[in-house]
Structure 1
Amino acid sequence: MKKIVKKWAAGVLAALLTMIFAVPGAAAISPSSPNQYPGIDVSSYQGDIDFAAVRAAGIQVVYIRSSVGSGFVDATFAQNYQRAKAAGLQVGLYHYVTARSEAEARQQAQFFVSTISGTQPDCRLAMDFESFGDLSVAQINAIGQAFIQTVAELSGKEVVLYSNAYTARTVWSPQLAASYPLWVAHYGVDAPGDSGAWQSWVGWQYTSTGSVPGIGGNVDRDRFTDGILLSGSSIIPDPGLPEEVHDTCDYTVQPGDTVWGIARYFGTTVDCIAEINGLQDPSLIYPGQVLRILCEGGGTGSGGSGTYTVQAGDTLWDIAQYYGTTVSALAATNGIEDLSLIFPGQVLIIPGGGTGSIGNGYYTIVWGDTLWDLARRFGTTVSYLAELNGIQDPNLIYAGETIRI
């Protein structure tokens, strides 16, 4: 009898401790409806895609990146859209937001809708806003609201908000959650975790290292519910391009950086960076300083139609090493016959597959990188990067691995 009492007491105590020390909001969120459709999301990083093979493999929904910022159109957008539609897939389109003000958000929204005008998507248009720099939570929400609202007004379509679970929980407001459904990214779990004010998801991106026939290399894998589908399918109208087309982002200065080196990285000029940031002496910058970068036509980018403006002293070998490509690929892409003959001011197209850059949402790890260094560089945290990419051990990352930023 004493043993029974002891066992009963121990059970009660364990239950009480569980209630007391349970992490608030740790419960998983549920799909918005029982019907689920296997899906993927793609961009120029996936290269040439055989969508007929993708469809035959059982994929039903594909989200396609159309654009980034205020002036960058994904090089594979039109091709991916046409082929996915021809294969009978349900198609959604998304835009990667880089805005740092509400006015810029509205401008980027107009650029997005203009880019996708003439298409007839089957799924909600998606906002991918995940790199915040030094913006406050209030500013992030105001920018997100301005972008989504403008997209909805100009396109006449419903919109979905893409976010990892951590940001959904710690950044996005209950007001946004009440108005727009969630496409959540959470890797390495059986179900998406606590996502703040959202109690359900219409999309769940559960890995960034998926494998699907018809696609070479890794691809994001998703599950979608009926809630991702548009209530009506019609052609997107063209609102026209915004008056100013610039792509901007923030860059945090690292030890050893120079304005010249940063300008080279982003395909801009020392004078441009100095003017935007009010630098009286461009030689005086310091680690931790946040610089505003303005790149005409989408900046350097590493995928598809990314470009680089040759600087004095550059060689094709240097540029190829920097972008993780080859001299022969650069030469073939740009029609260069004499590999020793390039000149300052020449604009080179960078073939896909180079290292990641700020503003495109991905980064390819190079030897010597640490998650801590990357978190500092991109203005985020180690825990955020680890959760976003399903990294169990933040000390264990590999050169050549592509992660989301």
Structure 2
Amino acid sequence: MSLNGIDISAWQRGIDLDAVPADFVIIKATEGLDYVSGDCDRAYQQAKSGGKKVGVYHFADGNSSGTAEANYFVDNVAGYVGEAILILDWETNAVNCGPGYAKEFLDHVQARTGIKPMIYMSGSVVNEWDWSGVVAGDYGLWVAYYSLDSCNGYVPDAAMYPISDWAGAAMLQYTSGGYLPGWGDRLDLNVFYGDSNAWDAYAGGGTGVIVQPQPEPAPEATENAQNTSIYVVQEGDTLSGIADQYDTTYQHLAAINGIVNPDVIYPGQVIVIDGVASGSGQTYTIQSGDTLGGIAGMFGTSVGHLAELNGIENPDVIYAGDTIRIN
């Protein structure tokens, strides 16, 4: 028994899920510490009311800590816990943070919800790193392996990538070029290797309870550290305003101070300032003969992510000499 479904993000904003055949829908909810999908709840509620199974995922950016990203995710999907499979999307920059960062995220989500999340990654990332700690934690795997460039309708018996560490994957994403009734563009198509009861078991069967995170004290500035100072939050301050004063970014300040929600700071709170801004995103200059799928494979990400990030309307059409963002 298996289930067929799709995963969506802002690239499919406004999709009418009542018109698209799917046993399940997995929806991007958050990214890093500063992005919440504006279409997530609409899509979630429509999928749920239509009788579809649901999942929500967090796209890790690797710029803070597994705990901080887990808190941000849980805080923003609290209303879905116990109904949806919770998923960590592990690709692009985050991959270089290593399995320890991912396991910290997974462990912390479980600690706060009582539910074991799933992890998504490409087959190559599965085999290039040691995931034994994550496997020992009994976290399920959703693997991406594009055995089909395109297809009309679901192909639940699509080829599986030979993977290490896990005995098998819970779910396979086998194409980013799927076409289904009700949507006139490409979709990621997936097969879940289980029935609706198995899906509900991964989702927690309605038993999720949110545990509030313990506040983390701001790290103390080293007495003789160069270019490091502290700032005491005043009434009316915002983290972005403080960042502007010190020529840094609010994302960086949130990361080094353990601030889960950058929109919430308090008068009297001590903020460490080191004057370092977060690094700029990675880019790639398209070469003759490149395909977006090939570039995605090089960087351990997906065609859908690159297309969404770069505003590429047709992933089959890219041009040599153009520079695209990878993350």
Q: TM-score, normalised by structure 1?
A: 0.52
SS of the equivalent of 1:63 reads strand
Q: Would you say how many aligned residue pairs link Structure 1 and Structure 2?
A: 249
In 1, distance between residues paired with 2:191 and 2:325? Answer: 20
Q: Which residue of 2 aligns with 1:393?
A: none
Tell me if the contact between 2:32 and 2:69 (Cα under 8 Å) persists in the aligned partners: yes
Report deviation, 1:37.
Answer: 0.5
Q: Which residue of 1 aligns with 2:4?
A: 38
1:71 matches 2:47: no
SS of the equivalent of 2:92 reads coil
**Aligned sequence identity (%):** 24
1:118 matches 2:79: yes
Report deviation, 1:71.
Answer: 2.4
Change in 2 beyond 3 A, CA 1:69/1:374? farther
SS of the equivalent of 2:76 reads helix
Report deviation, 1:384.
Answer: 2.9
Change in 2 beyond 3 A, CA 1:373/1:146? farther
In 1, distance between residues paired with 2:11 and 2:262? Answer: 19
In 1, distance between residues paired with 2:94 and 2:80? Answer: 32
Q: Which residue of 1 aligns with 2:126?
A: 168
Change in 2 beyond 3 A, CA 1:76/1:134? closer
Q: Which residue of 2 aligns with 1:148?
A: 106
| Matched residue type, 2:43 | N
Of 176, 188, 191, the match for 1:208: 176
| Matched residue type, 1:107 | A
Of 134, 145, 158, the match for 1:186: 145
Q: Which residue of 2 aligns with 1:197?
A: 165
| Matched residue type, 1:39 | G
Matches within 5 A, 1:376-387: 384-385=298-299
Matches within 5 A, 1:3-402: 35-54=1-20, 57=21, 59-100=22-63, 104-120=65-81, 122-132=83-93, 135=96, 139-178=97-136, 179-188=138-147, 190-226=158-194, 227-230=198-201, 232-234=204-206, 236-239=208-211, 271-272=247-248, 358=281, 369-370=286-287, 384-385=298-299, 398-399=317-318
* Greater Rg by CA: 1
Alignment RMSD (CA, Å): 4.2
Q: Which residue of 1 aligns with 2:277?
A: none
In 2, distance between residues paired with 1:65 and 1:125? Answer: 10
Report deviation, 1:234.
Answer: 1.8
Q: Deviations over 1:375-394 (max 9, x none)?
A: 9xxxx98853489559xxxx
| Matched residue type, 2:8 | V
SS of the equivalent of 1:118 reads helix
Change in 2 beyond 3 A, CA 1:369/1:243? farther
Q: TM-score, normalised by structure 2?
A: 0.63
Report deviation, 1:39.
Answer: 0.7
Report deviation, 1:297.
Answer: 6.4
SS of the equivalent of 1:81 reads helix
In 1, distance between residues paired with 2:34 and 2:67? Answer: 13
The unaligned stretches of length 5 or more in structure 2 are 149-157, 217-242, 254-260, 264-279, 305-314
The unaligned stretches of length 5 or more in structure 1 are 1-34, 245-267, 278-295, 299-356, 391-395
Q: Deviations over 1:215-236 (max 9, x none)?
A: 3422211000225442542265
Report deviation, 1:214.
Answer: 2.9
Report deviation, 1:44.
Answer: 1.4
| Matched residue type, 1:117 | A
Tell me if the contact between 1:39 and 1:60 (Cα under 8 Å) persists in the aligned partners: yes
| Matched residue type, 1:43 | S
Change in 2 beyond 3 A, CA 1:177/1:389? farther
In 1, distance between residues paired with 2:165 and 2:301? Answer: 19
Report deviation, 1:398.
Answer: 2.6
In 1, distance between residues paired with 2:130 and 2:288? Answer: 24
SS of the equivalent of 2:93 reads coil
Q: Deviations over 1:347-369 (max 9, x none)?
A: xxxxxxxxxx959xxx9x9xx73
Change in 2 beyond 3 A, CA 1:203/1:122? farther
Tell me if the contact between 1:148 and 1:159 (Cα under 8 Å) persists in the aligned partners: yes
Tell me if the contact between 2:122 and 2:300 (Cα under 8 Å) persists in the aligned partners: no
In 2, distance between residues paired with 1:297 and 1:372? Answer: 42
Tell me if the contact between 2:106 and 2:116 (Cα under 8 Å) persists in the aligned partners: no
Q: Which residue of 1 aligns with 2:312?
A: none
In 1, distance between residues paired with 2:30 and 2:288? Answer: 27
Change in 2 beyond 3 A, CA 1:374/1:140? farther
In 2, distance between residues paired with 1:70 and 1:242? Answer: 17
| Matched residue type, 1:131 | T
